[in-house]
Amino acid sequence: MRILIVESSMLLLLTAMTTGCLGSSSVTKQPQALPIITEQPTKEAVLTSTPTPTAKPIEHSTPEATTARNPTRCETSQLSVRRVSEDAGVGNVALTYAFTNNVSSPCTLYGYPGLALLDAKDQPLQGIKVIRSQDTYFSSKQPHQQVTLAPGKQASFQIAYNHISSPDQNCPMSSKIQITPPNAYQHFTLTEQIKPCTGKVRVTPVRAVNTQP
């Protein structure tokens, strides 16, 4: 009787173990593989630089015969000045002076020369007014002109004044004059007696001289 119970117990134990094995899963679940995403190669923004056209060098053309076409302004050191003629009538006097180009290259003069009257002590003569004028009693009105002086050529201008005085008038008289070329700084000093009784002296702009005196 005890043997049957033991066998029955053994049989039940075996059955239970067999059933437990069949009911429980011994398969270890593998982690689910993630879907493989094949990335398309990203299109990079490639900076395609268009070849820059090679810049052509700037050509600096030098004007032909620059010296001849655009001569420089005449400096005092390039010139000389002298009185070339004198006119007088009806109390008026006109002294014509000429600048001469003494260098081997051309230069230009434009406008009025400077003028100062000096006394015996080389001081400015008192009471004298220098007036720029395009004409005088002896010359017609002419506009300003640029005068190009070739080597050895001249440009002239006039100094004009009235020298008639009244019996009781003592007119001032210069001992020297200073002449400055137009647009220059240095001057010439010449011995010249000018007696402007009206206190006014007119100076004309430079003009071309066609013939040498």
pLDDT at 202: 94
Residue 174 inside a domain? The answer is yes
Residue 49 inside a domain? The answer is no
pLDDT at 29: 43
pTM summary value: 0.64
Is pLDDT at 182 greater than 70 in this prediction? yes
Residue 163 inside a domain? The answer is yes
Mean pLDDT of 77-85: 96
Lowest-pLDDT choice from 66-75, 162-171, 189-198: 66-75
Lowest-pLDDT choice from 33-47, 127-141, 193-207: 33-47
Residue 5 inside a domain? The answer is no
Q: What is the pLDDT of residues 96-146, one digit of tens each?
A: 999 999 999 999 999 999 999 999 999 999 999 999 998 888 777 777 889
Cα 174 to Cα 120: distance, rounded to the nearest angstrom = 7
Lowest-pLDDT choice from 14-18, 137-141, 166-170: 14-18
Q: What is the pLDDT of residues 57-71, one digit of tens each?
A: 433 333 333 334 578
Is pLDDT at 162 greater than 90 in this prediction? yes
The count of other CB atoms within 10 Å of the CB of residue 190 is: 14
CB–CB of 201/159 below 8 Å?
yes
Q: Which domain holds residue 197?
A: 71-208
CB–CB of 103/175 below 8 Å?
no
Residue 197 inside a domain? The answer is yes
Is pLDDT at 186 greater than 60 in this prediction? yes
CB–CB of 112/203 below 8 Å?
yes
The dihedral built from the CA positions of residue 162, 167, 172 and 176, taken in this order, carries a sign that is: positive
Is pLDDT at 30 greater than 60 in this prediction? no
Is pLDDT at 196 greater than 90 in this prediction? yes
pLDDT tier at 79 (50, 70, 90 boundaries)?
very high
Residue 11 inside a domain? The answer is no
Based on the structure, what is the number of domains in the chain? Answer: 1
CATH number at residue 99: 2.60.40
pLDDT at 10: 53
Nearest alpha carbon to residue 156 among 88, 198, 203, 121: 203
The count of other CB atoms within 10 Å of the CB of residue 173 is: 15
Average pLDDT in the chain:
76
Residue 117 inside a domain? The answer is yes
Residue 2 inside a domain? The answer is no
pLDDT tier at 211 (50, 70, 90 boundaries)?
low
